[in-house]
Amino acid sequence: MLRNFSFFSIFLISLNVHAFITVGTDAACDMNNIATANLDGDADIRVTNQIVRTERFTIDASKTITGGFDSCFDAENFIQSQTRTKWEGNNLGITLDLGILAGNPITVTLNGFEFFNGNSVPAQTSDAGFINVIGATNVFMLNTEFHDNSGKKGGAIQLTDAGASLALITTNIHNNSANNLGGGIYCENGKVTIYSGSAIHHNLGAVGGGIYANNCQVILRSGEILNEFLTTKGIYFNTSNGVGGGIAMFSGSHLTLEGTLIHPAAIKGNRATMGGGIYADGDNTTVEAYNAQINGNFANSGGGIYITENANFTMYRLNGSCWDDDHCSEISENQVTDANAKGGAVVFDEPSTGSISQTLFKNNLAPSAAAIYIKTATLRLEGNIFTHNSQQTGPFASTELFKIVGGGTNFTFLYNTVNYNEVNSIFALAANENITVANSILWNAATDILTISGNPNLGSVIFNCNTVNEDTSLQNTINNHNHIIADVNSLFIDNQTNNYHLKANSGAIDRCDESILQSQRNDFNDKPRGVDNVSDFNIFFIYDAGAYEYNDIIFKHGFE
């Protein structure tokens, strides 16, 4: 009896160990064709890198297909090499289809492949360049590469059905193109997650250079600290002939940039006509970015970001210290490329909404609105730093840092530090705008803080408790009080090296209260606000002006 049990146990173990198929050209291989292996009942297919694969078929059951084995002996023992299995499209216009339209959801994992030379342009059954995800199929791409594929919608990959999802894990999608939408990926009604270590780069699309999203959820968790010319992770160096160089979003799409305390989620070096990094359009279309960097992008308008038609944009830093506490959240080095364009960093076009906190705006360039252009939009800026935006002379010399136009705009500006921007004025305001600027440091060398065209009495203009370089330009505002004019070198630890933390005796310490506007987040370095400086004899106010709260003592608002 014991002998029979032992034999039966060994038989079961043997079945389990060999519950896979090897595909390759040597004598130890079970088969030499992936399509044939796919028809077998085994869910685990292991493919050698001995030849270039060209098969086309539909995977309609849960499968794991792994490439990168030098031999079938290695495949049996799961010894993966550094050489991926090449899978060529031969420009035939026939895709690899994953999933079925009806039935239960399936999961397909592809690991260790290089997909290239796919082409859907010859008008076959799919618009995708190489892979078409069908139905409620969950696809995982591991250690895989897509390059030199061409499609109509999705140069490399297309998802079009509700419930479809794609996860990229240490996967690169690069040098693909779409003559319509989504140079790298086209996603409609599905979900795309880009994990740390993955990249979408150097793709070209008519709309959406890297990704085109239509009612699609996109999560980006990949990026690195390096600048756009050195980066190898995230969404970078994609080009759109229309809008959205990195990603174009429409019809209720949701983009989340999920950085960590170790590295940012990054969108860098992309190009488009509008929204070099991100273009968001339509009701319920949202972007939420935390510990993210949107840097070095180019466009005719909205060098980094373009938000329009009821879309919403939110950006802030995570709690806790990140890789560099002054760069946890950043929109920098973005540029418009048209002499008549606007919004070096961001455009909020009519009607749209936004909230940006604890974010560095640096070295953004535009002839108009070097930092942000706001037209009939609602925008809150809290605890940010704006520095070195625009140029003093040349084609990108900007007339203002913020341009607010269109009527009906609601603009809230709280606890921000503005210094060393080469502009004629900080705020250029048209008629019928509602603007509140409070508890901020506004320094613009010898030039004006505010210029107004039209009749400001048609809107509400409030400037309160700001530390400024001049207040003459503020005299005609409806509510203008409690400002102090101070020398910039007396405010900051080191103005020359852009260290805008407050000196111990800075005039911005304990300057303000929150009677007009209340803070919603901690300061630029994630330190609490309302810390009373006991060496300052101002017993009425405990909130510091500007992005940084001076935190050299332990007393805090509400208790000691």
pLDDT, position 4 = 41
pLDDT, position 558 = 31
pLDDT, position 2 = 37
Per-residue H/E/C for 8-65: HHHHHHHHHHCCCEEECCCCCCCECCHHHHHHCCCCEEEEECCCCECCCCEECCCEEE
Mean pLDDT of the chain, nearest integer: 89
Taking the model in full, what pTM does it have?
Answer: 0.93
pLDDT, position 154 = 97
370-391 core/surface letters (b: 16 or more CB in 10 A; e: else): bbbbbbbbbbbbbbbbbbbbbb
For residue 410, give every residue at least 6 positions away whose Cβ sits within 8 Å of its Cβ, in sequence order, or none. Answer: 377, 378, 379, 434
Q: Give the DSSP letter of residue 128.
A: S
505-536 core/surface letters (b: 16 or more CB in 10 A; e: else): ebbbbbbbbbebbebebbbbbbeebbbbbeeb
pLDDT, position 90 = 81
Per-residue H/E/C for 422-449: CEEEEEEECCCCEEEEECCEECCCCCEE
Lookup: tokens for 2: 């014991």
Distance CA 200, CA 242 (A): 18
Question: What's the angle, vertex CA 492, arms to CA 488 and CA 495, rounded to 5?
Answer: 70
Nearest one of 164, 161, 206, 213 to 185, comparing CA atoms? 213
253-285 core/surface letters (b: 16 or more CB in 10 A; e: else): bbbbbbbbeebbbbbbbbbbbbbbbbbbbbeeb
- Is residue 399 included in any domain, yes or no? yes
What pLDDT tens digit does each residue of the chain (560 aa) get? Answer: 333 434 334 333 343 445 899 999 999 999 999 999 999 989 999 999 999 999 989 999 999 999 999 999 999 999 999 999 999 998 766 788 998 877 789 999 999 999 999 998 765 567 999 999 999 999 999 999 999 999 999 999 999 999 999 999 999 999 999 999 999 999 999 999 999 999 999 999 999 999 999 999 999 999 999 877 788 999 999 999 999 999 999 999 999 999 999 999 999 999 999 999 999 999 999 999 999 999 999 999 999 999 999 999 999 999 999 999 999 999 999 999 888 889 999 999 989 999 999 999 999 999 999 999 999 999 999 999 999 998 655 666 788 999 999 878 999 999 999 999 989 899 998 877 889 999 999 988 767 898 887 665 556 888 999 999 888 888 766 666 677 887 777 889 998 899 999 998 888 999 899 989 999 999 999 999 988 765 655 556 889 999 999 976 433 333 23
Give the gyration radius of the chain's Cα atoms: 28
> Are the C-beta atoms of 209 and 271 separated by less than 8 Å?
yes
> Are the C-beta atoms of 68 and 100 separated by less than 8 Å?
no
The sign of the CA dihedral 83, 85, 90, 96 is negative
Total length of the chain? 560
Lookup: tokens for 73: 């002996």
- Is residue 392 included in any domain, yes or no? yes
Query: pLDDT by residue (tens digit) across 263-279?
Result: 999 999 999 999 999 99
DSSP notation for 182-219: -SSEEEESSEEEE-TT-EEES-EEEE-SSEEEES-EEE
- Is residue 473 included in any domain, yes or no? yes
> Are the C-beta atoms of 233 and 222 separated by less than 8 Å?
yes
Q: How many domains does the chain divide into? A: 1
- Is residue 87 included in any domain, yes or no? no
For residue 26, give every residue at least 6 positions away whose Cβ sits within 8 Å of its Cβ, in sequence order, or none. Answer: 48, 50, 71, 72, 73
Lookup: tokens for 264: 């940012």
pLDDT, position 433 = 83
First to last CA, the chain: 78
Phi and psi for 239 in degrees, rounded to 5? -130, 135
- Is residue 35 included in any domain, yes or no? no
> Are the C-beta atoms of 71 and 93 separated by less than 8 Å?
no
- Is residue 483 included in any domain, yes or no? yes
Give the domain range for residue 450. 339-560
